[in-house]
Structure 1
Amino acid sequence: MHQTSMENPLAEAFDRSTYAGLMQRGAFQEVMIALQPQLARAPSDPGMLDLVADCYFGLGRADRGIEVLEAIVATWPDDLAAWGKLGARSLQSGHKERAAEAFKAILKHNPNSAQALSTLYLAAPYTWDSAHGKRLRRLASSAKLSKAEKVSASNTLGKLASAADKPAIAFRYFQVAKDATPGSYDSSETSASVAAQCQSFDPKRLPQITTTGNTKTGDTSRPLFVVGLPRSGTTLLETMLRAHPHVASIGESPALIQTRQAIQNHLRQHDPAAPDWAWCDQTSPELAQAGREAYLAQLSQPDTAPGTVPCRVTIDKLPQNLFEMGFARMILPDARFVFMMRHPLDIGLSLFTTNFHQGHYYSKDLKSIGQHIRANYASLDDYIPKLGDRVRLQSYRQLVETPEPQMRAILAHLDLGWEAACLAPQDSKESVTTASLLQVREGVNRSGLNKWQRFETQLQPLIDALGGWDWIKEWEARDATLD
């Protein structure tokens, strides 16, 4: 029997926590340099090799990271955690066959792994009546499954039932998955925040600051915030834009939210009762400038391989930054925004049927999803006249139906020239870590349109929460007017 990483004495001697702070800051190259002497002394330490793999992924070298993971499982083939990581990373990189092999290796050791069966479906879909499908149904009914396993198994069974044209059964499984997911959602909190935004945010009262980039780093890249509801096509657009030689991305970063919170905390040191939106009219030009430079410092990526072409646009693709567009306007008056509009019933269906690993508690039931969608549009409609032509509304339908004219218009919004590679997101070498990782690898296509129609009966609570068909028809008419 080969040793697993848990059985290897060298793995116990390696303390990964030593590098936790550097990893959290994204200092992957620094960690790699620090590891060199240890790798020379203990080249067969699986824990250290796992950290090396993570550094490669952090540096955008998914190919090298996967090679390191493959070396780990080749040496310790009983290390099921390493197999699982290899499978997940392969999926993110678009290597579905390699991912399927990894998950099958886990099932060879443990045929009753509900998690492996669920993730295998992503890489190599199987049917409701297949041996894997039947086994997963048996496992899902077991009281021995952890909550996480219950969520994954039930969600996958919902997808299997949906593919087998069993919508009622599919929705029962999806609801079981959501019920087993921790967390709760209070729509009144979101509504109150949007109401405060509408009342408090006035760009005329914002401090005037310098917009010549980051004075500390010399970075002159313009920020682009791709926002909207999750599952609206933000990942597709990001991947298309990243094919442009003048565009980079920091992914779904909390940097903007963290910067706003830092300014709020500073204001509350002087006035503990300062409301959440106090920054709108209480931020000094000096504090706003400091916030700008703090945010832009997180846009610069010193550990990524430098290109020969200067970066002119850096994407921040955290969908919920929609609610932060006013703050972004204050510290980044040169920023641009693209709001992705996808049919609310398609978004609602996708939110309900997606197994989110954290957050997105509004997706636990259809009524909350509808309320959250309406809150997003209430925020958007308040920002549009206040932010003016900084905001582009982008129809998901038009992007996938007529990608070239839409992409040309988006690039013009960013003051960038045409780049044909933007039409082939499936060719990207970058890892995709969001729930859209499989869809992006399929390229630009119309498969995401009108999926809701098969489930109209099951979606009635969502339809009601959106305001009925009157509001939905108004949305459709609005989407049809976008150029």
Structure 2
Amino acid sequence: MIQTTRPPLRMPAPPATALAEAEALLDGQPHLALTKAEAILRQAPGFPPAEFLAARASRRIGKGKQALQRLDALARANPRVPAVLWELGDLAAETGDTRRAVAALQALTQVQPSIPAGWFLLARCLRKLGHAQDAWRADLSAIFASSHDAELLKAAAAVNDGDLDAAEALLKARLQRMPEDPPSCRLLGEIAWRRGDMTGALDMVERAVNAAPGFDLARDFLIRLLMQNNRLPEALVHAEVLIESPVPVAGHRLILASVLVKLGQQERARGIYEQLLAEQPDQPQVWQNLGHVLKTLGAQGEAIDAYRQAVTRQPTMGEAWWSLANLKTVKLGADDIATMETALASLDAADESAKEDVFHLHFSLGKAFEDAQDYHASFRHYDAGNALRRTMVRHDADSFTAEVRATAETFTAAFIARMGTGGCPAPDPIFVVGLPRSGSTLVEQILASHSQIEGTMELPEMMMIAGRLQSRVDEGEFADFATMIASLSPADRTRLGEEYIERTRVHRQTDRPLFIDKMPNNWQHVGLIRLILPNARIVDARRHPLSCCISGWKQHFARGQTFTYDLGEIGRYYRDYVGLMADFDAQVPGAVHRVIYEDMVRNTEEEVRRVLDYLGLPFEPGCLEFYNNDRAVRTASSEQVRKPIFRDGLEPWRNYEPWLTPLVEALGPVLTAYPEAPAA
């Protein structure tokens, strides 16, 4: 007898329309969706799509425990279905069942590693369990997955093309669907930064880092933003975190070193650079950075070696050549000149990427030919370097003169009297103001050799406070500068003064009661200083206008000082400075003490005693031996102030006299009246 095998009974397929109807009800009427799903399951027990629908509906009506049971069963039966694993991981995380969430999300990211949200959620869950390094790796995997996201790529392309509005609209719409999406937050932060909205940039990038602490690129960006805003202690905290990344990157240590340098922790920065070079010596940029730190620390011989290591490895590295020349005590010889000229010839000044090397090389050759006493060639290179640099900076001499005039017209004796008392009474700050290359570093070094005074550096805090106040005029809140200043109540001025004291505290490394802020440009804000820090002292370091201006014109500054790249403009700037200080002297006699550089050189002890009397401090012999002070010095005069005062070079302008007509004309009566101010 032939036996036949009977085919197994087949369950009737559930109607597709019923499942689709139930899905449509899920968001608006989850109770009804659950009812329909259960009806389907009665017809087809265990049917996965209906089980999945029932689980999601149960979750939406608050039956999380039942939903988890269904999802667990589904995941066991269907261990490679991403939607099931995501729902299980998300619900377990939501209900606090972190271990179950981690198991589901680990399975999900193995099956489908291209889903950023799965990695981000896994990172959060791992962090809750104390698995910090694993969480960090999960965040990094999420960022890698996001780098292939078509929507994010479109937004990033729009940002790079300058279409910030389109990118912003796309990213904000994405955040509506995916709140706290870290890559979207970081990109929105970049958009705010490109628009100059630093507050908005910081808010968005901090949001990205808070959402994904392992987002290294966002934390790196946040550190740079904090540094730009001089929030250095916060930047240091983040930099210390970044170097612990499970994916070590040399750049993380470099940015930590940058923060340390800004905080004045030069020795630790030196250690980082030396470690990086021990691991990989062929890094010209790191050699240059090490040179900067060694120069600041006074290790001149080692600094020279570091800079030469940089230019040996990369002869076109203009900044390293300029750093050598800028030591002032180093003379670049004929071989150096030949190497620099060859490097300069190989660069295209029209190439935007090469411009910095080109102007640095021109400045370096200017110094080299100056040392060789070929002043015509020296002037030619200085002039070329300044002309190129001038095309890269913004400076409106007319606008600046108008601002200075408005400041002088505001801070009259009558106005200051009307403002009455107010401001922070702290006597701590000593502001050393003037022009760059005026002898201010010498004054600072002398004062910092006193037992009661700490030298810090050129601090940006007063400039930032003044800039913030000026922005209120620029944005239309006040009609003009005088109206804005007059609006400051005594409490406002106290708060601003206290802000300055608090923000500069990070730069103070000793318990000395007084400290020096050597930002030269603070001469523009002597009136504001008087209002918000009435007990602060102001020392004006002044040098012969031709000597000061030609020295500034020959000096390439790493940042700021945009007025120095044209002889006529630097002459106007000096004239504006003398005019404002003369007006302030007339309105508030005795508030500012003036140190004439030439007098300090010729009669050092007498001038030191005068400035100490102004500060209310006793004379100390150590002030005359300032060159023995081993404090870090970060300005262009760092090597000169480590030697006794010398009288050579009091009139550096004479070597360039044939070419100084634009400067002489711009200075006008300020030149002939020196060291006094013109009558008008």
User: TM above 0.5, one fold?
Assistant: yes
1:148 matched to 2:349? The reply is no
Hey, which of these two has a bigger chunk of helix by percent? 2
Partner of 2:70: none
Amino acid at match of 1:473: T
Q: Aligned partners of 1:37, 1:180: CA distance in 2, in Å? A: 40
Partner of 1:68: 272
| 1:209 and 1:331 in contact (8 A); partners too | no
Aligned match of 1:408 in 587, 609, 624? 609
Partner of 2:432: 226
1:382 positional shift = 0.6
1:120 matched to 2:321? The reply is no
Aligned match of 1:188 in 398, 410, 421? 398
Q: SS of the residue aligned with 1:320?
A: helix
Q: Out of 181-190 and 314-323, give the one that drifted further.
A: 181-190
Q: Aligned partners of 2:420, 2:274: CA distance in 1, in Å? A: 53
| 1:62 and 1:430 in contact (8 A); partners too | no
Aligned match of 1:172 in 351, 360, 380? 380
1:74 positional shift = 1.1
Amino acid at match of 2:581: L
Q: SS of the residue aligned with 1:53?
A: helix
| Unpaired runs of at least 5, structure 2 | 1-214
1:239 matched to 2:445? The reply is yes
| 1:87 and 1:102 in contact (8 A); partners too | yes
| 1:241 and 1:247 in contact (8 A); partners too | yes
Partner of 1:202: 412
1:430 matched to 2:631? The reply is yes
Q: Aligned partners of 2:409, 2:233: CA distance in 1, in Å? A: 45
Q: Aligned partners of 1:184, 1:268: CA distance in 2, in Å? A: 17
Partner of 1:8: none
Q: Aligned partners of 1:253, 1:25: CA distance in 2, in Å? A: 12
Q: Aligned partners of 1:35, 1:281: CA distance in 2, in Å? A: 41
1:102 matched to 2:306? The reply is yes
| 1:194 and 1:375 in contact (8 A); partners too | yes
1:274 matched to 2:484? The reply is no
Q: Aligned partners of 2:560, 2:222: CA distance in 1, in Å? A: 28
Q: Out of 51-60 and 395-404, give the one that drifted further.
A: 51-60
| 1:263 and 1:287 in contact (8 A); partners too | no
Q: Aligned partners of 1:224, 1:54: CA distance in 2, in Å? A: 26
| 2:585 and 2:592 in contact (8 A); partners too | yes
Q: SS of the residue aligned with 1:162?
A: helix
Q: Aligned partners of 2:222, 2:359: CA distance in 1, in Å? A: 33
1:141 positional shift = 2.9
Q: Aligned partners of 1:32, 1:194: CA distance in 2, in Å? A: 36
1:106 positional shift = 2.5
| 1:83 and 1:106 in contact (8 A); partners too | yes
1:475 matched to 2:674? The reply is yes
1:289 positional shift = 2.2
Q: Aligned partners of 1:133, 1:168: CA distance in 2, in Å? A: 15
1:286 matched to 2:485? The reply is no
| 1:112 and 1:139 in contact (8 A); partners too | yes
Partner of 2:545: 344
Amino acid at match of 1:434: T
Q: Aligned partners of 2:361, 2:601: CA distance in 1, in Å? A: 31
| 2:422 and 2:490 in contact (8 A); partners too | no
1:390 matched to 2:591? The reply is yes
Q: Provide Cα deviations, 1:293-333, integer angstroms capped at 9, x if missing partner.
A: 222222323x74443xx41x222222121121111111122
1:420–1:67 Cα change, 3 Å? farther
1:337–1:69 Cα change, 3 Å? same
Q: Out of 110-119 and 363-372, give the one that drifted further.
A: 110-119
Amino acid at match of 1:99: A
Q: Aligned partners of 2:651, 2:278: CA distance in 1, in Å? A: 44
Query: For the aligned residues, what is the CA RMSD?
Result: 3.0
| 2:422 and 2:532 in contact (8 A); partners too | no
Q: Aligned partners of 2:331, 2:650: CA distance in 1, in Å? A: 23
Q: Aligned partners of 1:398, 1:187: CA distance in 2, in Å? A: 30
Q: Aligned partners of 2:227, 2:552: CA distance in 1, in Å? A: 30
Q: Aligned partners of 1:263, 1:114: CA distance in 2, in Å? A: 37
1:102–1:294 Cα change, 3 Å? same
Q: Provide Cα deviations, 1:24-45, integer angstroms capped at 9, x if missing partner.
A: 5667666666766776787986
Q: Provide Cα deviations, 1:154-189, integer angstroms capped at 9, x if missing partner.
A: 111111222222222211111100111012433222
Amino acid at match of 2:368: L
Q: Aligned partners of 2:253, 2:633: CA distance in 1, in Å? A: 22
1:338–1:138 Cα change, 3 Å? same
1:90 positional shift = 1.3
Q: Aligned partners of 1:428, 1:23: CA distance in 2, in Å? A: 28
Amino acid at match of 1:180: L
Q: Provide Cα deviations, 1:26-70, integer angstroms capped at 9, x if missing partner.
A: 676666667667767879863343344345434434233223321
Q: Aligned partners of 1:144, 1:233: CA distance in 2, in Å? A: 36
1:38–1:384 Cα change, 3 Å? closer
1:284–1:81 Cα change, 3 Å? same
1:264 positional shift = 4.9
Q: SS of the residue aligned with 1:339?
A: strand
Partner of 1:372: 573
Q: Aligned partners of 1:52, 1:286: CA distance in 2, in Å? A: 37
1:290–1:274 Cα change, 3 Å? farther
Q: How many residues align?
A: 453
1:458 positional shift = 1.8
1:138 positional shift = 2.3
1:381 positional shift = 1.0
Q: SS of the residue aligned with 1:404?
A: helix
| 1:336 and 1:414 in contact (8 A); partners too | yes
| 1:425 and 1:440 in contact (8 A); partners too | yes
Aligned match of 1:316 in 503, 512, 517? 517
Q: Aligned partners of 1:133, 1:178: CA distance in 2, in Å? A: 19
| 1:60 and 1:430 in contact (8 A); partners too | no
Q: Provide Cα deviations, 1:118-157, integer angstroms capped at 9, x if missing partner.
A: 43344573445x2221121222233436111111111111
1:268–1:108 Cα change, 3 Å? closer
Q: Provide Cα deviations, 1:420-448, integer angstroms capped at 9, x if missing partner.
A: 22223333333322222232233422234
Q: Aligned partners of 1:28, 1:474: CA distance in 2, in Å? A: 43
1:240-255 → structure 2 map (5 Å cutoff): 240-255=446-461
| 2:424 and 2:533 in contact (8 A); partners too | no
1:22 positional shift = 5.5
Q: Aligned partners of 1:108, 1:166: CA distance in 2, in Å? A: 25
Q: SS of the residue aligned with 2:302?
A: helix
Amino acid at match of 2:608: M
| Unpaired runs of at least 5, structure 1 | 1-11, 214-219
Amino acid at match of 2:481: D
Q: SS of the residue aligned with 1:226?
A: strand
Kindly indicate whether structure 1 or structure 2 has the higher relative contact order, using CA contacts under 8 Å at least 6 residues apart.
1
Q: Aligned partners of 2:346, 2:573: CA distance in 1, in Å? A: 33
1:28–1:283 Cα change, 3 Å? closer
1:394 positional shift = 0.8
1:358–1:51 Cα change, 3 Å? closer
1:249 positional shift = 4.2
